[in-house]
Amino acid sequence: MSKNIFDVIIIGAGSVGLPAAKSLAEKKMRVLVLDAQASPGQANAKKAIGGIRATHSDYGKIRISLRSIEIFAGMEEESGYDIGWLRNGYSFPAYSEKDEKTLKNLMKIQHEFGLNISWISPEKYNELVPGINMEGLRGSTYSPEDGSASPLLASNAYYQLCLERGVSFRFGEKVTDLKFNKDSVEVTTDSDNYSSHFVVNAAGNEAREVGKMAGLELPVYPDCHEAAITEPVKRFFGPMVVDMRPAEGSKNYYFYQNNEGQVVFCITPDPPIPGTCSESTSVYFPQIARRMVKLYPRLANLKVRRSWRGQYPMTPDGFPIVGFPENLPQYFNLVGMCGQGFMLGPGLGELTARCLTATKNDDDDRILASFAFNRDFSGTEAFK
Ligand SMILES: Cc1cc2nc3c(=O)[nH]c(=O)nc-3n(C[C@H](O)[C@H](O)[C@H](O)COP(=O)(O)OP(=O)(O)OC[C@H]3O[C@@H](n4cnc5c(N)ncnc54)[C@H](O)[C@@H]3O)c2cc1C
């Protein structure tokens, strides 16, 4: 058999491509991962700040993230790789009647799906986030089972786990063409040719370009987000804090203290900044620092170590596109991860493996319906 023939070729060694490769190899598939970058996790995977929550607003994301949390939480014990997992929880404090109502309504749906999330008083919230600005605080959601991990360590762990399971990788090769035959797909890169039974599009920012190679018009448009990390300090607050209130130039922003004591933070620009430029700007720091210190004055003395900019590969409704499109049984979409590819990755990896090995369960079809390519994209995810 030629060295270039595989059961599955995954385009993209990122947040979702790596876990998918591991899960497929565990199903005894011969897997090749192709990536244009020089090593795994070099595009948006390493830009994520590491937040992992199941407290979403729809069935698909909730189910997938619950499974991801199980996988992340058990990773060190099962495989020996420390990924910096911390079950620190998530919180959405409310400072207006409107936000309180929105969050409480969403909690009804989240409770229907069995999520552990509750409404806590301002006093209780002040115990979790001591010194938080209490002026006008009406309470907060708190979901203690959500958590965080290091995206850098997780990419490395997944890469090692893939190698241990026999996955092949070719780095520095950009996929330039796909040709579909009756029983195989020919994958052309800028330096070689490969053949496989299935091809998985996990190309993140470039999902649309790769989709075009399969004749698809995928609505995935990256937009830019900046983040930063401080020096490590002794743990002084618990959960991820998501401040939903908009301000000039931005929507929500969020921050947490990771397992090494560093505070990591990120903001959602408004209007969105389309494109793939990853140069840090002079706008981000003044914009977020002012907001963070007003909300939580204790942050004022922290020293910031570095900042970075990356993208969310966005879809119009904020949900990913996952599954086989109609009439393309050899091509699988694993794209449009928006701001949640890190937390969705492990669960989606397993789902992908079940789809490609015809071992789906009843629940999978309900999950896939949330992420179908042929949906109308008119909905809106509550917290993209
Ligand atoms: C500042 C910031 C903070 C974030 N915080 C979080 C967070 O807390 N939690 C969370 O879940 N998510 C977060 N995200 C979002 C998360 O980073 C993305 O959703 C996720 O990385 C997307 O995963 P992906 O695998 O689709 O893409 P990527 O990880 O970008 O991987 C795609 C890969 O495909 C390769 N590729 C593309 N085209 C080709 C081609 N033609 N040939 C070969 N290779 C190709 C690329 O080189 C790349 O390595 C954050 C993002 C940013 C920017």
Instruction: Please state the atom number of ligand 1 nearest to the C-alpha of residue 226.
Output: 1
Name the band, by pLDDT with cuts 50, 70 and 90, for residue 284.
Answer: very high
Q: DSSP 3-state assignment of 347?
A: helix
The H or E element containing residue 329 is none
37 within ligand 1 shell (Cβ under 6 A): yes
- C-alpha of residue 225 to centroid of ligand 1, in Å: 12
Amino acid in the structure at residue 62 = I
Rounded Cα gap, residues 119 and 124, in angstroms: 10
Name the pTM for this structure: 0.97
Residue in the structure block whose two tokens are 């000039």: 248
Q: What is the pLDDT of residues 65-92, one digit of tens each?
A: 999 999 999 999 999 999 999 999 999 9
Which range marks the domain in which residue 114 is found?
A: 88-147+221-313
Q: What is the pLDDT of residues 200-259, one digit of tens each?
A: 999 999 999 999 999 999 999 999 999 999 999 999 999 999 999 999 999 999 999 999
The total of structural domains in the chain comes to: 2
Tell me what percent of the residues of the chain surpass a pLDDT of 90.
97
208 within ligand 1 shell (Cβ under 6 A): no
Residues 115 and 236 in one domain: yes
With 0-12 / 13-18 / 19 or more C-beta atoms within 10 angstroms meaning exposed / middle / buried, residue 102 is: middle
Q: Is residue 247 part of a domain?
A: yes
Residues 286 and 356 in one domain: no
Instruction: Please state the atom number of ligand 1 nearest to the C-alpha of residue 227.
Output: 1
Mean pLDDT over each residue of the chain, to the nearest integer: 96
Residues 338 and 191 in one domain: yes
Q: What is the pLDDT of residues 20-71, one digit of tens each?
A: 999 999 999 999 999 999 999 999 999 999 999 999 999 999 999 999 999 9
- C-alpha of residue 312 to centroid of ligand 1, in Å: 7
Which CATH number does the domain housing residue 102 bear? 3.30.9.10
347 within ligand 1 shell (Cβ under 6 A): no
Residues 303 and 351 in one domain: no
The predicted pLDDT at position 380 comes to 72
Residues 40 and 178 in one domain: yes
Q: Is residue 296 part of a domain?
A: yes
Phi, psi of 195 (to 5 degrees): -135, 145
- Is the model's pLDDT at 1 over the cut of 60? no
The predicted pLDDT at position 152 comes to 98
Number of H helices, E strands in the chain: 9, 18
How does strand 193-201 pair with strand 331-335? parallel
Last residue of a domain, one of 268, 298, 313: 313
Say if residues 349 and 16 touch (Cβ distance below 8 Å).
yes
Residues 113 and 55 in one domain: no
Nearest residue CA, atom 35 of ligand 1? Answer: 12
227 within ligand 1 shell (Cβ under 6 A): yes
Residues 238 and 307 in one domain: yes
Q: Is residue 136 part of a domain?
A: yes
Residues 58 and 194 in one domain: yes
Which CATH number does the domain housing residue 18 bear? 3.50.50.60
The preferred substitution site among 11, 15, 250, 348 for testing ligand 1, maximizing ligand atoms within 8 Å of CB, is: 15
The predicted pLDDT at position 2 comes to 65
